[in-house]
A and B are shown apart, each in its own frame.
Chain A
Amino acid sequence: AQSVTQPDIHITVSEGTSLELRCNYSYGATPYLFWYVQSPGQGLQLLLKYFSGDTLVQGIKGFEAEFKRSQSSFNLRKPSVHWSDAAEYFCAVGAVLMDTGRRALTFGSGTRLQVQP
């Protein structure tokens, strides 16, 4: 079965510095990969997605992510963090569930980002 690991539960960075949020996945085939952001009490907003092609994906709000098949990773990066980026970030894998054959998203546990002034 597919799984997603976000090893960092909580990250604090200073405004203006760079950011990298880690995501590792487990899946038997090429997965569809997503990064979502969730502000407190809100739903999820898609930052970017990878389906195929160029392994460096550009998203909204200045975020990018790189798919590395050899490392089973899809890390999210931003060169200069803004205070408004403080939120919860979720990595997700879209795949066919082994037990039911249905397509579904499997989410990582999330990384909470705090931005210091």
Chain B
Amino acid sequence: GAVVSQHPSWVICKSGTSVKIECRSLDFQATTMFWYRQFPKQSLMLMATSNEGSKATYEQGVEKDKFLINHASLTLSTLTVTSAHPEDSSFYICSARDQGQGAAYNEQFFGPGTRLTVL
């Protein structure tokens, strides 16, 4: 149980284009999903918290107009990198919190990640 998928796993795009990454909780409902960014050989940095049916909450320094997040259902959140540039190349990882576990648990289940390369 508690499986999170991401699609695509790997994407290459041209500079200036937009890329959408999907994050799905396959066997549980997730009121809250999280988007992280990871640079090579570095830790995960939280970008934003995605709440179903409401606007995402972005961390300081993350451009909300560049990284559009939509959480339209209890099992799907999307991250769209708009007008991508080479410096946006990174490993993007999503996670989801199983609301059935209770909010106090804080446990997140992670997707396998999406590697974005912007040429």
> Residues on A close to B: CB < 8 A?
32, 34, 36, 41-46, 49, 51, 90, 94-95, 100, 102-110, 112
Contact = CB atoms under 8 A, between A and B. Distances in A.
Contacts of B43: 90, 107-110
Contact of A43 (B57, B103, B107, B112): B112
A36 B105 contact: no
Interface in B21-53: 34, 41-44, 46, 49
Contacts of B105: 32, 51
B106 A43 contact: no
A27 B106 CA distance: 15
Nearest to B46: A104
A43 B111 contact: yes
Pick from B41, B43, B93, B107 the residue with the most CB of A within 10 Å.
Answer: B43
State the main secondary structure of chain A at its contact with B: strand
Contacts of B6: 43
Contacts of A103: 103, 106
A56 B75 CA distance: 34
Contacts of B91: 41
B44 A42 contact: no
A43 B110 contact: yes
Nearest to A104: B46
27 contacts: A36-B110, A41-B91, A41-B113, A41-B115, A42-B112, A42-B113, A43-B4, A43-B93, A43-B112, A44-B44, A44-B93, A44-B110, A45-B110, A46-B107, A46-B110, A94-B106, A94-B108, A102-B49, A102-B57, A103-B106, A105-B106, A107-B43, A108-B43, A109-B42, A110-B42, A110-B43, A112-B41
